[in-house]
């Protein structure tokens, strides 16, 4: 149970999230060239979508509080999240190359798919899976020692999945060719001077040309293959997490409710979502947790997104970002 349901399953299921968090902005910027032909859209999309992400998380939390079945209250949502994440991944990374990036699809169509895919993933699919995934340990058992073991497995799975995307991602991106590659300062005989984009302006000013090694169109086709692999891992991981976990506390509550016929429970009034929000907003410790979590997530996203750009600017490749992530993960391990 611990090895398959709480370790291997989550690692496989969370791998795609690591790819999205680290490489989605790179896909937009380097493959779709979104920043070249629609920079305002690329900037405003995550900001405006935050509204839908908050609403989506609130609705999923409310969904978790529904009347549970003997199967559980969290585990069924893992199965529900599985196809939604798969669809969102396809919409996110299978965008036809727009004319702004040298393709044939319209820029408007590409923008719509990017917006739909982003909100489908972060506002619906991911909250459904991750909320249920996070609740599994607390619902698994009342035994403290066993719960600690399962919690360790879950944390190891999350760190492992994020580590695969961060530590191995840069090497795999260069190896597979997921991002366009250019050589700046190509001589008349075709030999390159540098792939370091810091030297781009200097090379072009001296009359040298740019040679395209991997075009945006070719890189875009590679993402299709990667997403198929990610979806296969996602399906296997979610199935392992569903079939090799148990919500023993939920099972106890369902059985006890059936015996008591819910006579006393029927008299208990449930707190509405509006009242819950009002109570939380008046608690200073709730705000402290929210601010801390926001800063933690903001810093992590800044590091994940900027590290690959830094690596490309300094070396023209992505291997440096993997090396930095690997060294940075040593204290965590």
Q: Which two tokens stand for residue 114?
A: 């990017």
Given this model, what pLDDT does residue 311 score? 84
- Alpha carbon of 320 to those of 89, 108, 179, 314: distances in Å? 26, 35, 15, 9
Question: 220 and 114 in contact (C-beta within 8 Å)?
Answer: no
Per-residue pLDDT of 147-202, as tens digits, reads 888 888 988 888 888 878 878 888 888 889 999 887 666 555 555 555 555 555 55
Q: Which two tokens stand for residue 213?
A: 């090694």
Q: Which domains does the chain have, with CATH numbers?
A: 2-177+215-329 (1.20.1250), 182-212 (no CATH)
Q: Is residue 123 pLDDT above 70, yes or no?
A: yes
Mean pLDDT of the chain: 84
Residue 269 pLDDT level (bands cut at 50, 70, 90): low
Residue 268 pLDDT level (bands cut at 50, 70, 90): low
Q: Is residue 328 pLDDT above 70, yes or no?
A: yes
Could you tell me the pTM of the whole model? 0.84
Q: What DSSP designation does 192 have?
A: -
Per-residue pLDDT of 282-316, as tens digits, reads 888 999 998 998 898 888 878 877 888 888 877 77
Lowest-confidence pick of 17-31, 49-63, 220-234, 315-329? 315-329
Lowest-confidence pick of 121-125, 188-192, 267-271? 188-192
Given this model, what pLDDT does residue 303 score? 81
Question: 245 and 154 in contact (C-beta within 8 Å)?
Answer: no
Given this model, what pLDDT does residue 196 score? 53
Provide the 3-class DSSP secondary structure of residue 71: coil
CA–CA distance, 139 with 185 (Å, rounded to integer): 60
265 contact partners, CB below 8 Å, separation of at least 6: 257
Given this model, what pLDDT does residue 17 score? 92
Q: Which two tokens stand for residue 155?
A: 């944390």
Lowest-confidence pick of 37-41, 50-54, 61-65, 236-240? 61-65
- Rg for the chain, CA atoms, rounded: 23
Q: Is 304 exposed, middle or buried (0-12, 13-18, 19+ CB in 10 A)?
A: buried
Q: Which two tokens stand for residue 134?
A: 């996070």
Q: Is residue 129 pLDDT above 80, yes or no?
A: yes
Question: 209 and 61 in contact (C-beta within 8 Å)?
Answer: no
Of 311, 331, 308, the closest CA to residue 18 belongs to 308
Q: In 247-276, which positions are buried (b, 16+ CB within 10 angstroms) versus exposed (e)?
A: bebbbeebeeeeeeeeeeeeeeeeeeeeee
279 contact partners, CB below 8 Å, separation of at least 6: 271
């Amino acid at each position: 149970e611990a090895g398959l349901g709480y370790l291997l399953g989550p690692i496989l299921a969370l791998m795609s999230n690591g790819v999205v968090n680290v490489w989605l902005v790179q896909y937009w910027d380097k493959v779709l060239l979104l920043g070249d032909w629609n920079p305002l859209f690329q900037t405003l999309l995550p900001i405006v979508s935050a509204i839908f992400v908050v609403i989506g998380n609130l609705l999923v939390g409310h969904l978790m509080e529904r009347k549970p079945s003997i199967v559980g209250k969290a585990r069924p949502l893992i199965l529900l999240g599985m196809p939604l994440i798969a669809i969102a991944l396809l919409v996110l990374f299978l965008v036809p190359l727009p004319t702004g990036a040298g393709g044939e699809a319209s820029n408007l169509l590409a923008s719509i798919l990017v917006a739909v895919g982003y909100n489908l993933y972060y506002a619906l699919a991911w909250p459904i899976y991750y909320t249920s995934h996070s609740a599994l340990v607390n619902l698994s058992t009342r035994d403290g020692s066993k719960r600690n073991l399962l919690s360790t497995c879950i944390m190891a799975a999350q760190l492992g999945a994020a580590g695969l995307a961060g530590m191995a991602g840069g090497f795999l991106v260069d190896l597979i060719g997921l991002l366009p590659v250019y050589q700046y300062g190509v001589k008349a005989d075709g030999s390159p001077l540098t792939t370091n984009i810091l030297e781009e302006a200097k090379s072009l000013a001296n009359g040298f040309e740019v040679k395209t090694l991997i075009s945006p169109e070719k890189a875009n086709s590679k993402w299709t293959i990667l997403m198929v692999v990610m979806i296969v891992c996602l399906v296997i991981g979610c199935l392992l997490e569903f079939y090799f976990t148990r919500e023993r506390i939920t099972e106890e509550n369902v059985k006890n409710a059936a015996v008591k016929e819910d006579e006393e429970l029927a008299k208990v009034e449930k707190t509405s979502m509006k009242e819950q929000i009002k109570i939380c907003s008046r608690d200073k410790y709730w705000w402290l947790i929210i601010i801390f979590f926001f800063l933690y997530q903001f810093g992590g996203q800044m590091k994940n997104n900027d590290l690959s750009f830094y690596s490309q600017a300094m070396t023209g490749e992505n291997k440096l970002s993997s090396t930095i992530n690997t060294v940075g993960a040593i204290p965590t391990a």
